[in-house]
Amino acid sequence: MARALARHWGALLVFGAAALIPIVVRDAYFLDSLVLILLWGALSAAWNVAGGYAGQVSIGHASFFGIGAYSAALLATRWQQSPWIGMLVGITLSLAAGAAIGYLSNRLKGPYFALSTIAFSQVLLIVASRWRGFTSGSEGIPVPFRPGFATLGLGHVAWVYLALVVAVLYWAVELWLEHSRFGYRLAGVREDEDAAQALGIPARRLKVIAVTASAALTSVCGTLWAQYVGFVDPFYVFSVDLSVRFALNAIIGGMGTALGPFLGSILITSLETYLRATLSGVKSGFTGIYLIVYGVVLILVVRFVPDGLAGLAARLRGRWARAHA
Amino acid sequence: MDPARRLGLAQIDVVAQLGVSTVLLGGIYALIAVGLTLIFGIMRVVNFAHGEFLMLGMYLGFFAFTLLGLDPWFVLFVSIPLFFVVGALTYAVVMKGVIHASHNVQIFTTVGLSTALQNLALVLWSGDFHTVRPWHALTPVRVAGTAFNLSQVVAFVVAIGLTVLLFAFMRWTHTGRVMRATAQDREAAILMGIDTNRVYGLSFAIGIACVGAAGVLISPLYAVYPTAGLQFVLLSYVVVVLGGLGDIRGALIGSLIVAAVEVGGSYRFGTAWKEIFYFLLFIGVLVFRPAGLFGQRGAETLGV
């Protein structure tokens, strides 16, 4: 137990801090940032299952986020169902969509796979924004706020703990991927698909499973996000920018590492919150400015620290160990 | 089916209009796509920021027209060398360091560039829609019972002219041959003494010059705004994958197919749904013929 704790001191620090902060801090703005850090981290962790562990780099994961968000919002507004039901419906639809994309794009690699996922998210964007009769079209859907756990109308502190539970669960899934037979085989497929197949690993099936699981995990966060923010806008939830954001946190933190997406989210979400606070007075747009920073950070990170913060830490630790050996 | 939309002898004008629309649109799409296919084919990099250079071209057309009163046709001559330099600089600063890196690094480098440029435009010039209305955008041209404005017709002619010029350059000049050799076999080209780094820089610069010119040409035809490039670049991916990467003739044929799908789809189902057809076409092509309609040597190095 103690050894396990020592090995995961980073996760313990991150999640422990998140658990303790709401006890001390009551500032709504600060707690809001914390919820977003955890949710964005969980979303990137979900992306990481396909992108980092299976090497299926998607720029269309907003598809599943949007499916989760819309499922809950539509069920709540049209059929007065609890968002938890909506979450289940979202998971089911995302499993189907993820399996379909994973299966159809199975042969595709690198940029081709990325392009096919973008195309898929654009198809969903067009459907959601043009099918006025069902989805309210481009106006989007305001999600009604009804207090209570069953309707996910929660206060800030409750949201922190809910997001924390999801974040820790996702982190545990990735930890399992790092230490299980399934995860090892997935890594084999990622590193050299031909060699993995020659060893009898069903590469294609594993990739489909990874993409499908990743889709379902993304969808859950999509539902939570829609309930938390209270509004579903098709041009946001299905946007390429959003898909890039999922990837961005994971890349900055370290693709294919369990804690990486959360480290990336801490950095990027705090940066966003900071810029929002300092640039709120600027006229046309804080939105634009932080996205410029995103773009530049992304270019610099993939160029100079391609294995992210987690990789950087591992390298420094290795150097330290060698120096003291 | 809506009786007004049934095709028969009485609708011959409609067929002519749709046919000519397809050709005009296809020519413009071709110029946007040739730059992408050139970069794709030679550097083996998908330029996810391609649409943003188109957008910058459209803004150049807009600002030259509103601030200086310059006609886009004139700006075209300035834009080609200007975007050539922009492309060369972008290559030197951003692309050169990742040309031998993994797919993921290359994908996210150009994605990052796309996000940065798009939002730079948003911050500098706001998200408002702008239009450019020179005299030729208001001059109708009638051919065989069909009507188009002069901007559209000239954009088509210039786009086809530039595409043919690029094709001739690649086919018959020494530099073109060197570029094709690099596309076919990077290692062999290096062994033959080709400076591949210069070839990549040149390809990127030419590709950006093409798309910049396309941006200026279409500025009188479409609204100018920071994310204007997105829809065009998405359809260029369709064109490039359909035609086979690096294949200029393939890009022309692919453009015509995409334009036909768009024109036919919007006629039958209304313009609101037109994009969905080429995305479905795209997914279909990626799934069933990822190497393009004509097959493509070298596709395997991209992992298809």
Domains of chain B plus CATH, in order, are 8-302 (1.10.3470)
- Chain A residues with CB under 8 Å of B104 CB are 57, 110, 251, 255, 302, 306
In chain A, positions 222-241, which contact chain B (CB-CB < 8 Å)? Answer: 240-241
How deeply is A77 buried, as exposed, middle or buried, from its count of CB atoms within 10 A (0-12, 13-18, 19+)?
A: middle
Distance of CA A125 to the CA centre of its chain: 19
Can you read off the two tokens belonging to residue B233?
């670049």
CA of A147, closest CA in chain B: separation in Å? 37
Angle among Cα B57, B58, B61 to the nearest 5 degrees reads: 90
Q: What is the pLDDT of residues B110-160, one digit of tens each?
A: 989 998 998 888 888 877 888 888 877 777 777 766 777 788 888 888 888
**Rounded to an integer, what distance in angstroms lies between the CA atom of residue B195 and that of residue A118?**
34
Interchain contact, B106 vs A306, CB within 8 Å: no
Choose among B230, B279, B286: nearest Cβ to A123. B279
| Strand pairing class (B140-143; B146-149) | antiparallel
A295 and B279 within 8 Å at the Cβ level: the answer is: no
pLDDT at res. A290: 78
Q: What is the pLDDT of residues A25-65, one digit of tens each?
A: 777 777 888 888 889 999 999 998 888 888 888 888 899 99
A111 Cβ contact partners less than 8 Å away, ≥ 6 residues apart: B45, B46, B103, B106, B107, B302
Where chain A has pLDDT below 50, the residues are none
Q: What is the pLDDT of residue B145?
A: 66
Give the integer Cα–Cα distance in Å for B234 and B33: 10
In chain A, alpha helices (H):
2-7, 9-24, 28-48, 62-79, 83-104, 110-130, 132-135, 156-179, 181-191, 193-198, 203-229, 234-237, 240-253, 260-279, 286-304, 308-323
Q: Cα–Cα distance between A22 and A169 in angstroms, integer? A: 19
Residues of chain B contacting A284 with CB distance shorter than 8 Å: 122-123, 126-127
pLDDT number for residue B1: 40
Residue A39 near residue A224, CB atoms below 8 Å: yes
pLDDT in tens, B232-285: 888 888 888 888 777 788 888 888 888 888 888 887 777 777 778 878 888 888
Q: What is the ipTM of this complex?
A: 0.82
Q: Inform me whether the pLDDT recorded for B52 exceeds 90.
A: yes
For residue A212, give the nearest of A250, A186, A181 by alpha carbon. Answer: A186
- Local confidence band at B303 (pLDDT 50, 70, 90 cut-offs): very low
Q: Do B105 and A285 touch (CB under 8 A)?
A: no
Are the C-beta atoms of residues B41 and B246 closer than 8 Å to each other? yes
Would you place residue B3 in the very low, low, confident or very high pLDDT band (cuts 50, 70, 90)?
A: very low
Nearest-Cα residue of chain B relative to residue A305: B105
Q: Do A127 and B276 count as a contact with CB atoms less than 8 A apart?
A: yes
Residue keyed to tokens 């702008």: B130
Q: Do A115 and B275 touch (CB under 8 A)?
A: no
Q: Do B112 and A105 touch (CB under 8 A)?
A: no
Tell me how many residue pairs between chain A and chain B have CB atoms under 8 A apart: 150
Q: What's the whole-model pTM score? A: 0.85
Note whether B275 contacts A303, CB cutoff 8 Å. no
A263-292, pLDDT tens digit by residue?
888 888 888 878 777 776 665 556 677 788
Whole-Å CA distances, B301 to B42, B194, B287, B304: 11, 20, 18, 7
Highest mean pLDDT among A283-292, B7-16, B243-252, B289-298: B243-252
The predicted structure's pLDDT at residue B301: 47
Q: Give A-chain residues touching B272 at CB under 8 angstroms.
A: 130
pLDDT recorded at residue A215: 92
Lowest mean pLDDT among A28-37, B162-171, B206-215: A28-37
